[in-house]
Amino acid sequence: MPSLTRASAPLARIALIAAAGLVAAGCGAPESGSGPEGGGASGGDWSPVTIEHAYGSTEIEQKPERIVTVGWSDEATLLELGIVPVGMAASTYAGDEEGYLPWDLEKIEELGAEKPELINTDDGIPVEKIASLAPDLVLGVQSGMEEAQYEQLSEVAPTIPYLDQPWMTEWQKQTVTIGRAVGMEEEAQRIADDTMAYIEGLAEDHSEFEGTDYAVGTVMPSTGEFGFYVGQDARPVLMEQLGFTPAGFVDDLSVADGQFYGTLSLENADKIDAEVLVMWFNSAEERKRLADNTVFQQVDAVQNGGYIAYEDPEQSMAISTPNPLTIPWVMDGFSQRLAAAAKGEADPAPQA
């Protein structure tokens, strides 16, 4: 996890980071932009859909056939529904040389489809590039889409931005909202329910999670401060769905209005009071610098075997933007490391 700014590279935006499909795809090899029965809706007549969001509401009057995604992991829900977008945001942080994420590629291959065109959103949402793909729906449900961008994109096609706060649309809501937008709300709800049942199963398998307090954070490269994720950010949500309890010190952090993290200076590392501490880093060097800090070495979780660190981009991205594709892809390994930390037996070194 890099810096905590969502306006720079993807890693920074996820706050620096900070499997098998659950639904069978339809037969045949769909073209890019297609889904079961040739489009978003699973057959039958299309009924107009209205989606409420941060900037008002968007009506989708016709069944979407060419969908572009600019939100983090919005494409994953579409893919799990059997729909391949014509364009999707590239991941310059965790993707391959082209910018494709591994779980997306696995699903696209399973569907027998061509890879969508990639859109670089590191420096903002490129409206002209999106318009050139002639979309009839633009999804930015898990994004920080600005109102001016929303208005511009809405001139191109019906556009769904984030629902309440930027970058903080809960993964279940993201899944169901996207499903509703393409006429597959029931299927999307089933996917969300099945995925949640998987998480609940992990929680049941690990009774040590229940009531154990945690903190999830990173070090901000620009200032050297800690940034701890709060509120409806995906990482705290996932930890609490597993049964963990937020550490009390996080409530005392300074959190800017609408922000998804609170900050703590490095010299105040002794205030980090959590039984389990998960940290994300952009590099091994960054992780080692913190490990060598004498104040950080005195943190209870570090001394008591409750500290784990991640520097692998794919793992970081999968946990930072959970969705029905990444959760099965990453959670078995993540839950095993969390179990060791909850028992005071963690190896802090990152694992692939």
Q: Which residues pair with 87 in a beta bridge?
A: 68, 117
Q: What is the pTM of this model?
A: 0.85
Q: Work out the percent of the chain whose per-residue pLDDT is above 70.
A: 87
Under the banding of pLDDT at 50, 70 and 90, the label for residue 259 is confident
Could you report the per-residue pLDDT of 1-22, keeping only the tens digit for each?
333 333 333 333 333 333 222 2
Q: Do 316 and 263 belong together in one domain?
A: yes
In a domain, 37, yes or no: no
Q: How many Cα atoms sit within 13 Å of 224 on the Cβ side?
A: 9
Q: Do 130 and 212 belong together in one domain?
A: no
Candidate from 40-54, 150-164, 196-210 with smallest mean pLDDT: 40-54
How far apart CA 271 and CA 53 sit, in angstroms, is 37
Cα 92 to chain centroid, rounded:
15
Structure token digits, residue 332 = 């078995």
Closest CA to 99 of 114, 129, 119, 82: 119
Could you report the per-residue pLDDT of 135-189, keeping only the tens digit for each?
999 999 999 999 999 999 999 999 999 999 998 899 999 999 999 999 999 999 9
Q: How many Cα atoms sit within 13 Å of 204 on the Cβ side?
A: 6
In a domain, 131, yes or no: yes
> C-alpha distances in angstroms, 50 versus 39, 171, 191, 270?
18, 20, 21, 49
User: Do residues 160 and 339 touch, judged by C-beta distance below 8 A?
Assistant: no
In a domain, 38, yes or no: no
Q: Do 170 and 257 belong together in one domain?
A: no
Q: How many domains does the chain have?
A: 2
Q: Do 217 and 308 belong together in one domain?
A: yes
Amino acid 295 reads V
Could you report the per-residue pLDDT of 79-116, keeping only the tens digit for each?
999 999 999 999 999 999 999 999 999 999 999 999 99
Q: Which range of residues forms the domain containing residue 264?
A: 206-343
Q: In the chain, helix, strand, coil percent, each to 5?
A: 40, 15, 45
Candidate from 38-42, 133-137, 213-217 with smallest mean pLDDT: 38-42
Q: Do 283 and 314 belong together in one domain?
A: yes
Q: Which domain CATH number covers 90? A: 3.40.50.1980
Under the banding of pLDDT at 50, 70 and 90, the label for residue 231 is confident
Structure token digits, residue 75 = 């494409």
Q: What is the per-residue DSSP string for 108-163?
A: HHHHT-PPPEEE--TTS--HHHHHHT--SEEE-SSS---HHHHHHHHHHS-EE--S
